[in-house]
Amino acid sequence: MKELTAEQKELVALVREFVDREVLPVASKFDHADEFPTDLVEQMKEIGLFGITIPEEFGGLGLDLYTYALIVRELSRGWISLSGVINTHFMAAWMLMTYGTEEQKATYLPRMATGESRSAYSMTEPHAGSDVQAIRTRAVRDGDEYVITGQKMWATNGLRADLAMILTVTDPTAEPRHRGMTAFLIEKEPSVSEQPGITVPPQLKKLGYKGVESTEIVFDGFRVPATAVLGGEEMVGQGFKQFMAAVELGRVNVAARAVGLATCALEQAVKYAKERETFGKPIAKHQAIQMKIAKMATNLRAAELLMLEAAELKATGARADLEAGMAKLFATEVAMENASEAMRIHGGYGYSQEFMVERLYRDAPLLVLGEGTNEIQQIVIAARVLADN
Ligand SMILES: Cc1cc2nc3c(=O)[nH]c(=O)nc-3n(C[C@H](O)[C@H](O)[C@H](O)COP(=O)(O)OP(=O)(O)OC[C@H]3O[C@@H](n4cnc5c(N)ncnc54)[C@H](O)[C@@H]3O)c2cc1C
């Protein structure tokens, strides 16, 4: 795998230390209270985590996607909700860096790099998740403006973000439908549930992935200047492609989160197995437990290798749908399994809120659903395998 520079190694080590010292001791407390971790997020800003991949000329750290994946893994070893705070922001920043006009980059990237501005990334709607081409949110041209009406669903950071990258339909007659879709980078009031043209209803209640909010965003005649089209007027009709490219990136991200969570599950399982005694010896001495540990560690290693391969490939700019899909599929299933096995190794205590494995058990399922469900990953993988062979 890729050799890191001294600077990259130092940053990854710094995040690991931050997670050990500041995150692991309190993550479950924030999770149980479903509380946004303001202080932790401030520390993430200070470390520079909101601008990891934003070029130095715009005030970011200018690091590559591979380093980003390693950092996401470390954060998620502590708590996947922390990576959730930066992931939609990172995807919106990547879209801006890749497709934005020079003016859009100069306006937004500097404040995104510091975390002063935070972005959501929103394509899902109440009736359309996997089937993105079925979205209905309309953006209608009116002079120098577009008027947006429709409803977004499951927008991570949907309340606190002051920016949102959204996918809309600008030409409902287009065939195929995706040619009539356009991406907008909109500005909104952060932490405000009602503003002219936008309502953010109370956050959705979830099984896990707490602390970071998931919301609907309702647009009702929300006006944006035509300059808010991502990449400018010539990019009208290109939104679907832009969002799909970002999703590929998101899949590497989710694989990295899954590896982080699965690592934490293994660490907690090993620690407990050495401490807990039954029948006169630590449970780690029982072969049944050793077999679980061996499988968890082996699957974790395989997931890590797939994730690193996908991250390395995507960082070169090459097509990586197959590799990202495989990494996302495998790593997230491993996260589910490791979380479940870690809980079982804890016996009855695994079911109690005293031990962090119950949080991992509730957090892991998000990973098989988000950024394209694992059923959809298998469709993507099979399409490539069938085409290439
Ligand atoms: C906590 C959370 C945070 C999220 N954050 C964001 C966000 O920030 N931005 C955003 O845009 N979205 C976000 N999402 C939405 C997420 O990406 C979607 O929920 C996901 O893509 C699935 O869509 P759906 O829920 O509509 O399920 P559906 O598409 O309705 O799927 C239902 C079931 O059918 C299966 N299925 C669907 N089509 C097929 C097919 N062709 N073949 C086989 N099986 C199929 C699916 O795999 C699934 O099992 C988030 C979701 C959650 C839960």
pLDDT of residue 274: 98
> Which domain, by its residues, includes 29?
6-117
Residue 194 annotated among the catalytic residues of the structure: no
Ramachandran angles phi, psi of 125, nearest 5°: -130, 170
pLDDT of residue 2: 82
User: CATH number of the domain that 254 lies in?
Assistant: 1.20.140.10
- Mean pLDDT (the chain) is 97
Q: What tens digit of pLDDT does each residue of 5-26 get?
A: 998 999 999 999 999 999 999 9
37-47 mean pLDDT? 98
Residue (of 58, 38, 44, 63) closest to 113 by Cα position: 58
Sign of CA dihedral 343, 309, 64, 329: negative
User: CATH number of the domain that 112 lies in?
Assistant: 1.10.540.10
Nearest atom in ligand 1 to the alpha carbon of residue 152 is 11
Residue 266 scores a pLDDT above 90:
yes
Nearest atom in ligand 1 to the alpha carbon of residue 130 is 29
Q: Is the residue at 1 inside a domain?
A: no
Ligand 1 pocket member 130 (CB < 6 A): yes
In terms of domains, do 31 and 106 share one?
yes
In terms of domains, do 247 and 349 share one?
yes
In terms of domains, do 199 and 129 share one?
yes
Q: Which helix (H) or strand (E) holds 365?
A: helix 357-369
Percent helix / strand / coil, the chain, rounded to 5: 60, 15, 25
pLDDT band at 3 (very low <50, low <70, confident <90, very high): confident
Residue (of 13, 12, 40, 16) closest to 26 by Cα position: 40
Ligand 1 pocket member 253 (CB < 6 A): no
Q: Take residue 15 and report the two structure tokens written for it.
A: 């995040």
328-336 mean pLDDT? 98
Percent of the chain with pLDDT over 90: 97
Q: Is the residue at 309 inside a domain?
A: yes
Q: Return d(Cα 231, Cα 326) in angstroms, integer.
A: 30
Residue 223 scores a pLDDT above 80:
yes
Residue 1 scores a pLDDT above 80:
no
| Cβ-contact 265, 271 below 8 angstroms | no
Q: Take residue 312 and report the two structure tokens written for it.
A: 């390395």
| Cβ-contact 257, 77 below 8 angstroms | no
Q: How many structural domains compose the chain? A: 3
Bridge partner residues of 281 (DSSP): 278
Residue 199 scores a pLDDT above 90:
yes
67-76 mean pLDDT? 97
In terms of domains, do 276 and 204 share one?
no
pLDDT of residue 265: 98
Ligand 1 pocket member 37 (CB < 6 A): no
In terms of domains, do 113 and 126 share one?
no
